[in-house]
Amino acid sequence: MECKKDRFKRIAEARTNKAIDMIRLLANCANKKNYDYSKEDADKIIKVLENEIKDLKNKFNDSLKSNEKFKL
């Protein structure tokens, strides 16, 4: 039986590597020899990815905070 820590490590590594691969593929779209796009198009892509990273950080931080015990 796989413990929660091992399951987290396995799944988090796989999903992180998949996200990195997809970001690298998306970065290929920056090649002006193959694609035509505006600065606004690029800014939209970057903004939405930055927002998703911000949400990810918040979820991990909120999760850590919820496990803390209250003390006076």
State residue 71 phi and psi, 5-degree precision: -140, 150
User: Using CA atoms, how far apart are residues 14 and 12, in angstroms rounded to an integer?
Assistant: 6
Residues 14-30, mean pLDDT to the nearest whole number: 97
User: Using CA atoms, how far apart are residues 38 and 31, in angstroms rounded to an integer?
Assistant: 12
Residue 65 has pLDDT above 80, yes or no: no
Mark out the alpha helices in 2-70 (DSSP H runs). Answer: 4-27, 39-66
Q: What six digits make up the tokens of 67?
A: 């496990």
Higher pLDDT, 71 or 3: 3
